[in-house]
Structure 1
Amino acid sequence: MTVEGEDLTALSDMQLDVLQEIGNVGAGNSATALSRLIQHRIEMNVPQVALVPIEDVPEFVGGPELVVVGIFLRVYGKAPSNILFLIPRDSAFALADTMCGREVGTTTTELSPMDESALMEVGNILAGSYLNAFYSFTGISMLPSVPALAVDMAGAILNVVLVQLGEMGDHALLIETNFVADDRSIKGHFFLVPDPGSLGSIMNAVGVG
């Protein structure tokens, strides 16, 4: 199955099912890696996978003015892309508490260099796990760069990324990601933004004929 002109409305239910399974496998592998890293059980699930217009990305995390922690990675390989992991600031504090062995909900009001390093490692693990899952299902090899982190409004982070990258694809693959640690749910949003031309390669690879 091809995606004529990268028309995302042409995606089949089966293609979306494959993308959902890629998300589930990536989340499972991420949870295992994070749990081993911090010696603390973390569960993850992917309640939603969708293809969304790039300009709508801030709406999926709570609106363009919501302050978030953004982790960005460049992806190299057969389908060059960009990864943007956005998590609301308060959720990022809770995730940093968990990663650094602090009681979740402590008086963390800003991220220390150690917290930023921990969150970038989360981004590293998520990127590696999801891209490995893509390779397992599609045979498309993609490797992530070293992550960068910023704290700002969701709309501002997206604008900076767009300006820095110049030409970028029109759509993003959203993999909504829920972390559960100490019975507390932390929601993040993982976006794979393929370069122009890469999206068709990815979608064709998860086609069914």
Structure 2
Amino acid sequence: MYEKSITSMHLDVLKEIGNIGAAHAATSLSTLLNKKIDMKVPKVEMVSFDEMMELAGGPDSVVAGIYLRIEGDVTGSMFFVLPVEQANRFIRRLVQDDQFDFQSGAISEIGASAMQELGNILSGSYLSALSDFTGLKIYPTVPALSIDMVGAIISFGLVEVSHVSDYVIVIDTAINEEDVPNEESVRGHFFLLPDPESFEAIFQALGVS
């Protein structure tokens, strides 16, 4: 399996691709929020399916999850997951509503749209950078938002995938906003789950033989 052949060098390449995508996303978010945004990818790693759940806080942890499918030369699933309180704080600043709360019952349309737009910007930037680097055509579908337990979100997103790899590419994501304390910054995880045949396409393009 290709995932068994991944070295720290390949992960460093994926991290560099992630940081290129983060720089593009930061520019878009700066325009959206009308203030300086800095984004970094502190770490990229490959983990097991169970480890992915734990990184997101455990299967019973409530999170804001954005799910989309990847199409083109590479197919698979992608999730952006962050603690629900971080999502609340980010959307409150974005829509200028201090009372906004994803867990208050009915989610406002503007809040849901804002969160989906965040997912759109982040996933689009990352996948565009991966596409540019590998020469593969990679397209994201429209993102879907869910506020639920990690296990439920990921299981639902993968229900249409008949063969799931045992390994997941994790892209840590840190979004730092101007005038926002570090402890209130967004710290989320991108989980990239290529369909099994797409692992080969990605890692061949990255030079794994």
TM-score (norm 1): 0.90
Any idea what the Cα deviations from partners look like across 1:85-114, whole Å, max 9, x if unmatched? 111100110121232234xxx333324221
Residue 69 of structure 1 is aligned with which of 64, 67, 88? 64
User: In 2, Cα distance between the equivalents of 1:98 and 1:9?
Assistant: 42
- After TM superposition, give the deviation of residue 162 of structure 1 in Å: 2.3
Aligned to 2:153: 157
The one-letter amino acid paired with 1:147 is P
Aligned to 1:39: 34
- After TM superposition, give the deviation of residue 200 of structure 1 in Å: 1.6
CA contact (8 A) 1:173 1:191 kept: yes
User: In 1, Cα distance between the equivalents of 2:75 and 2:166?
Assistant: 14
Within a 5 Å distance, the mapping from 1:192-207 to structure 2 comes to 192-207=192-207
Within a 5 Å distance, the mapping from 1:11-30 to structure 2 comes to 11-30=6-25
- After TM superposition, give the deviation of residue 178 of structure 1 in Å: 0.9
The one-letter amino acid paired with 1:115 is G
Would you say 1:80 and 2:83 are equivalent positions?
no
User: In 2, Cα distance between the equivalents of 1:10 and 1:83?
Assistant: 22
Aligned to 2:93: 98
Any idea what the Cα deviations from partners look like across 1:156-178, whole Å, max 9, x if unmatched? 11121222333333222110101
- After TM superposition, give the deviation of residue 202 of structure 1 in Å: 0.6
The CA RMSD measured in Å over matched residues stands at 1.6
How many corresponding residue pairs? 201
User: In 2, Cα distance between the equivalents of 1:84 and 1:170?
Assistant: 16
The one-letter amino acid paired with 2:54 is E
TM-score (norm 2): 0.90
- Matched residue SS, 2:133: helix
Unaligned residue ranges in structure 1 (runs of 5+): none
Aligned to 2:190: 190
The one-letter amino acid paired with 1:101 is Q
User: In 2, Cα distance between the equivalents of 1:202 and 1:208?
Assistant: 9
Any idea what the Cα deviations from partners look like across 1:109-159, whole Å, max 9, x if unmatched? 324221111010111111110011102211111001111111111111112
* Between 167-176 and 187-196, the greater mean CA deviation after superposition: 167-176
CA contact (8 A) 2:77 2:157 kept: no
- After TM superposition, give the deviation of residue 10 of structure 1 in Å: 1.9
Unaligned residue ranges in structure 2 (runs of 5+): none
CA contact (8 A) 1:50 1:173 kept: yes
Aligned to 1:118: 114
Aligned to 2:132: 136
* Between 51-60 and 119-128, the greater mean CA deviation after superposition: 51-60
Q: Which runs of at least 4 in structure 1 moved beyond 3 Å after TM superposition? A: none
CA contact (8 A) 2:5 2:208 kept: no
User: In 1, Cα distance between the equivalents of 2:128 and 2:159?
Assistant: 28
